[in-house]
Chain A
Amino acid sequence: DGGITQSPKYLFRKEGQNVTLSCEQNLNHDAMYWYRQDPGQGLRLIYYSQIVNDFQKGDIAEGYSVSREKKESFPLTVTSAQKNPTAFYLCASSKPSGTGVGNQPQHFGDGTRLSIL
């Protein structure tokens, strides 16, 4: 079955540590996204990538980094500079659209819950 796989499901970070969240898709989608969700809140965009080897900052990119070396993979690193990393992180992908990303549905993984030790 095609879909998006996020791992791990739960992750704990120590002070001063960088951690990397994995996101893999086999939907052959060009576009991929990372969102952060805080309790009772909507999703906020961290980074997105419309094509391999290119990515753009979203609304809350500070303290995060990404890479897009392969079409299938879009890992997110939460760096020690992110002082409040506790949240639910969601990865998504979509087909490209010639007239804007909103023309296509986004497909989501089941998230990674990050907590601070």
Chain B
Amino acid sequence: SQQGEEDPQALSIQEGENATMNCSYKTSINNLQWYRQNSGRGLVHLILIRSNEREKHSGRLRVTLDTSKKSSSLLITASRAADTASYFCATDQIFGNEKLTFGTGTRLTIIP
């Protein structure tokens, strides 16, 4: 079953604007990861945040985690056309039998 649900399902913004995507999950986790997938390609790891962390940065990416609300957000600042892709969250559930569970993804389109 799907653990994570991304919101929105699709997002279109102008180049240069910030993009925010959200991920909600159902059961307690050890860690949460965000991945990017360009059309027809494999996933690329972006960032991992542990359950005892609240915020993490990597370049233009900012990820937050609120374990009390079972949610995470991914912020991409100063978006570029190359950021056009699908973004997935993946959770490592406590007692999850050593596997990641992926959400359904947010399709991000950056309009030049």
Main secondary structure of the interface of B (DSSP, over half): strand
Q: Known: A42-B4, A50-B98, A103-B30. Is A108-B42 also a contact (CB below 8 A)?
A: yes
Q: How large is the interface on B (under 10, 10 to 19, 20 to 34, 35 or more residues)?
A: 20 to 34
Q: Which residues of A contact B40 (CB under 8 A)?
A: 110-111, 113
* Chain B 1-44 interface mask (CB, 8 Å, partner A; 1/0): 11010000000000000000000000001110100000011111
Q: Which residues of A contact B41 (CB under 8 A)?
A: 110-111
How many Å lie between the Cα of A41 and that of B107 in the bound state?
A: 11
Instruction: Tell me how many residues of A have a C-beta within 8 Å of chain B.
Output: 30
CB nearest to A105 among chain B residues: B45
* Chain A 89-107 interface mask (CB, 8 Å, partner B; 1/0): 0101000000111110111
CB of A105 within 8 A of CB of B33, answer yes
| Residue among A56, A103, A113 having the largest count of chain B Cβ atoms under 10 Å | A103
How many Å lie between the Cα of A56 and that of B99 in the bound state?
A: 10
Instruction: Give the residues from 4 to 62 in chain A that come closer than 8 angstroms, CB to CB, to chain B.
Output: 4, 6, 33, 35, 40-45, 48, 50, 56, 58-59
CB of B98 within 8 A of CB of A45, answer no
Pairs A-B, 9 closest by C-beta atoms = A102-B92, A108-B42, A105-B45, A42-B102, A43-B102, A102-B31, A42-B104, A108-B43, A101-B98
